[in-house]
Structure 1
Amino acid sequence: MKVIKLDAIDSTNDFLKGLSATEELENYTVVTAENQTKGRGQMGAVWNSEKSKNLIMSVFVKGLLVGVEEIYKLNIATALALIEVLKTFNIQNLSIKWPNDIMSANYKIAGILIENSFKSDGSISSVIGIGLNVNQTNFENLPKASSMAVITNSSFDKDELVPLIVEQFEVNLELINLNPQYLWEKYTEVLFKKGVPMPFKLENQKAFMGIIQGVSATGKLIVLLENDSIVEYGLKEIQMLY
């Protein structure tokens, strides 16, 4: 595992994508940054992080997916890697809020942004961005955010987390190819608010009640509606209100 440490960068994902376009990178090349000026989340959301307090990292992988239909495996492998590592640091009540947020109880402590590139020969390379709140304790104007430090009343070595996360991610990717059902079941078990009646909002702002059943192989959220129908929703089609 090669690690490139940066002081400040606009985006570790953008840096790693640019690097992969100019040179041949080995699998699991990692970029970390003390400060990220243009961090992004899903759907263009901004990821704010206090300088030097949190883990900002991106991981490059290539040639590990056979086809487009396997892309969501990266989400599963990454999210479960974070869950497993955080458990070892006594972070409680962990869950995965679809599609890419890691929660402790009702508070977000990590986010994932995966960006894929498709080559003409059919190969796929991916950059997996991870933002993990580690030692930040001030979340003014972010009432739904928390950190490892807040939850445990302790401080942590960010650099120690990097190899642990990447090693678990690597194990998960191997496992999901050998026994995909096992990790799918683990992922489904820890879905945030699974099986609980929850309010949602559609693109047109229409609100409704539903119960999360799971996630489809293509990464859509499976929701049981009040009329007993089951509907799959894509990322931009639905928002959970909690």
Structure 2
Amino acid sequence: MNIIKLDAIDSTNTFLKKLSVESTLEDYTIVIARNQTSGRGQMGTVWSSEAGKNLTFSIYTRVSHVKKDEQFYISIVISLAILKALKSMGIPDLKVKWPNDILSANYKICGILIENIIKGNQLYASVIGIGLNVNQSSFEGLPNASSMKLITGNYYNHEEIVHQIVYYLKKYETVINKRDFKALLNEYESQLFRKDKPSTFKGKDENIFMGFIKGVSTSGKLRVLLEDEIEKEFDLKEVSLLH
């Protein structure tokens, strides 16, 4: 594991992707930024973080054993690895809000952005960007956000968290190598926020509807049970789960 520490950068994902083009990177090369000025989230959203208080970092890992149509399992294993790492540090009531936001006590504490590198029409590596709220104590204008410190009252060491996440990510990598995708999917679904509970959704045409989250498809689409016992699958561009 090679760790590169930066004082400030626009995006650790952008930096690491560029680095992977310019040189051959060691598996689990990690870039950590004290201040990330243009952090990105899913669907082009901005990840805002107080400099020095939180973890903004990216992990480069080779995933050539994963096929292109199996890439959602990369999202699954990083979500589960973060969940396990945070649980080991005493963070309570952890859930995954589809597809890969990490919640504690219904508050978002972590966002994930995965960008895959394809060579010769095959998956070659993934750059996994992680924004984790660690020691920040105020989230003005973000009522659904929180941090590890706010939730437990404890101060956390950044490097210890990174090592724990990588430890569990490597453990889950062995499950992917064995191609035990069913076990991964079952574990992921058991950790889904609001699974089997009546939930409110907003569609891409801004319509609001009710449904029950039943799980996810192998391609990562959210399976929702609608009225009249009709189950429908939605991708990230089609639906958002409202708090």
* Same fold per superposition (TM over 0.5): yes
**C-alpha contact 1:188 1:215 (8 A) present in aligned 2:** yes
**C-alpha contact 1:223 1:232 (8 A) present in aligned 2:** yes
**C-alpha contact 2:223 2:234 (8 A) present in aligned 1:** yes
Deviations 1:38-66 (A, max 9, x none): 00100011100000000111011124433
Identity among equivalent pairs (%): 50
Q: What's the secondary structure of 1:47's corresponding residue?
A: coil
Q: What's the secondary structure of 1:227's corresponding residue?
A: helix
Distance of aligned partners of 1:12 and 1:207 in 2 relative to their CA distance in 1, 3 Å threshold = same
Residue type at the aligned position of 1:181: K
**C-alpha contact 1:65 1:71 (8 A) present in aligned 2:** no
- What is the match of residue 195 of structure 1? 196
TM-score (norm 1): 0.97
Q: What displacement does 1:30 show?
A: 0.5
| 1:224 aligned onto 2:225 | yes
Distance 1:30 1:131 in 2: 13
Residue type at the aligned position of 1:95: K
Residue type at the aligned position of 1:213: K
Residue type at the aligned position of 1:166: V
Q: What displacement does 1:6 show?
A: 0.5
Deviations 1:118-167 (A, max 9, x none): 11262422100011100001111110000100011010111111111111
**C-alpha contact 2:211 2:227 (8 A) present in aligned 1:** yes
Task: Give the length in aligned residue pairs.
Answer: 242
- What is the match of residue 107 of structure 1? 107
Distance 2:105 2:59 in 1: 27
| 1:206 aligned onto 2:207 | yes
- For structure 2, list consecutive stretches of 5 or more residues without a partner in the other structure: none
Q: What's the secondary structure of 2:50's corresponding residue?
A: coil
Distance 1:171 1:66 in 2: 16
- What is the match of residue 20 of structure 1? 20
TM-score (norm 2): 0.97
Distance 1:121 1:88 in 2: 38
Moved over 4 A (4+): none
- What is the match of residue 70 of structure 1? 70
**C-alpha contact 2:63 2:126 (8 A) present in aligned 1:** no
Distance 1:60 1:114 in 2: 10
Give the RMSD, CA atoms, in angstroms. Answer: 1.1
Residue type at the aligned position of 2:117: S
**C-alpha contact 1:199 1:210 (8 A) present in aligned 2:** yes
Distance 2:121 2:76 in 1: 25
| 1:236 aligned onto 2:237 | yes
Deviations 1:195-230 (A, max 9, x none): 001111110011110100001111100000012111
- What is the match of residue 38 of structure 1? 38
